[in-house]
Amino acid sequence: MKKILVFLMSLVVFANAHFLMMTTTTDNVSSKKQSTIEIKSMFIHPFEQNGMEMVKPVGIYVNSKKNPLPLKSFTKFNHTAWETSYKIKRPGVYKFFTIPKPYFEPAEAKFISHVPKIIVSAYGLEEGWDKPIGLKYEIVPMTKPFGLYAGNIFTGKVLHNGKPVSNVEVEVELYNEFKLKAPTSAHITQVVKTDENGNFSFVMNHKGWWGFAALIEEGTKMHDGKKYPIENGALLWIKAY
């Protein structure tokens, strides 16, 4: 009976996709009133609206690893999460991202290391939204990532060491603030794959924040004297209106 319970619990864990989520107060700054951007980073199951403990990340940055922002903890879904802020002073495209410390998931026998990114346009300047930051694992938008409507199709390109990578699974979830009910557990996390050019497309059928997580298993890390694989996630969060 004990083995059966452990097995059933592991099925529940596998059914729930882990996402390192980022949100900003807006993805379009159009006035000084909006110029101070609040950025939140949390380790959660977005659709099911529950969370996990997030240890202090290596950092939350803007545009480059050379620009770390001060971190402050807060509580989300009864677990520790992290936040910061940034004052935008001039027009431009700003790219915020989080570098976490790898999280060991016993049920999956692997480490999870997801790096989420959000792109914000300020004062009407939109050039550069399709340029990579230069992360080892990264999703670059092929569709302008701000100013999207529910029902729009979003296309992104998955890069590994700056090169497009094919046949990679991209998990997609809605941050479900709307109390939507999934018909089955299979509907919670959508999955698409990249083509030979590293591109994927997805139609966002509801307003809200959508997370795209391209998963690449590479490298190992020690835990309790044993090596485990690392699931590296290139994440992009965009908002549909």
pTM over the 0.95 mark: no
**Which domain range does residue 220 map to?**
2-240
Residue range 89-124, pLDDT digits in tens: 999 999 999 999 999 999 899 999 999 999 999 999
Q: What local confidence, expressed as pLDDT, does residue 14 receive?
A: 44
Tell me the per-residue pLDDT of 143-161, one tens digit each, with 9 for 90 and over: 999 999 999 999 999 999 9
**% the chain with pLDDT above 70:** 93
Torsion of CA 202, 206, 210, 214, to 10 degrees: -20
pLDDT at 16: 60
Report the number of distinct structural domains present in the chain.
1
Q: Are 133 and 63 in contact (CB under 8 A)?
A: yes
Q: Is the pLDDT of residue 11 over 60?
A: no
* CATH number of domain containing 219: 2.60.40.10
Q: What is the pLDDT of residues 26-45, one digit of tens each?
A: 999 999 999 999 999 999 99
Predicted local distance difference test score (pLDDT) of residue 18: 84
CA distance 233 to 158: 10
Asked if pLDDT for residue 15 goes beyond 50, the answer is no
Nearest Cα residue to 233 out of 159, 183, 177, 131: 159
Looking at the predicted structure, is the pLDDT value of residue 12 above 70? no
